[in-house]
Structure 1
């Protein structure tokens, strides 16, 4: 009977310093990565919240006099979906309550997935009428990509998900 020896695998999370022009910055980059991701997640939630709050309060938002009415028209008339008022209400909840939860890193993966789906829907519905640089179709596209990143990454070190030690 032969005796086998264990295999040792070493995994490092810090990138090799030799490939950086300024290798002394590698530790600084690694140290700041968690905080940078938390800032991205918080900023994303805050930006989305600014779009949901006018819908919830029934106040104007930028050039849109009735944001909730605009959402209902987009869902019903442009996308042709049934139950437009009810779906617009769910969008308002997603853009307020869920955005605040996402900013704090609570239920990050499922909420970011919902945000990703919303941004795909907006990009699909508005893509033909919003040029690439005027009115900004790149805005929901970029927000969708950021949401997908959060789906794959989760809450991160500085999140309520991390504090609870449970994540979906």
Structure 2
């Protein structure tokens, strides 16, 4: 049984078929840009939780907040969340161990979505808009892998 792969741009029924070579050339670069942005936008949030940078509370502040909203083992949870965002973000950005890092991020973001559901959709009201966006981006890389321009691809191994 063969697995159907993505069709080349020229075979996709494009409205403007002359753009097919442009799309084919830009495809791996778009993949790279989204992966790097996804990873690097997570890093400062992890730095807030782990180190107290960028106005964050560090482990103690994050753990205190988690405890105040009823979570058990708040210090362990604060450390795990910080590591997923900081280390996981760097791994995603560099394209190293991308699938497991992105899967961990997607799971954490599902947790974050559930926490923010009561605030509605919009992030301006601390709703679930932001975590669902990054959770879906992370899920994409957990499923698709790092792409052509990645350390995973360079070493020829991925999980």
Common fold, TM-score beyond 0.5?
A: yes
Q: In the alignment, does 2:41 pair up with 1:50?
A: no
SS of equivalent to 2:124: coil
**CA offsets 1:67-121 (integer angstroms, 9 cap, x no match):** 545532454343x432111111121122112211110000011110000011010
Q: How far has the Cα of 1:13 moved from its partner?
A: 3.0
> Which residue pairs with 1:159 in the alignment?
150
Q: Which position in structure 1 is the counterpart of 2:128?
A: 137
Aligned to 1:90: 80
Contact 1:60 1:67 in 2 (8 A): no
2:107 pairs with 113, 117, 131, which one? 117
Structure 1 unaligned residues grouped into runs of 5+: 1-9
- The higher radius of gyration belongs to 1
TM-score, normalisation: structure 1: 0.81
Q: Find the counterpart in structure 2 of residue 59 from structure 1.
A: 53
Number of residue pairs matched?
155
Which segments of 5 or more consecutive residues in structure 2 lack a partner in the other structure? Answer: none
2: CA distance, partners of 1:36 / 1:85? 38
TM-align CA RMSD:
2.3
**Larger fraction in helix:** 2
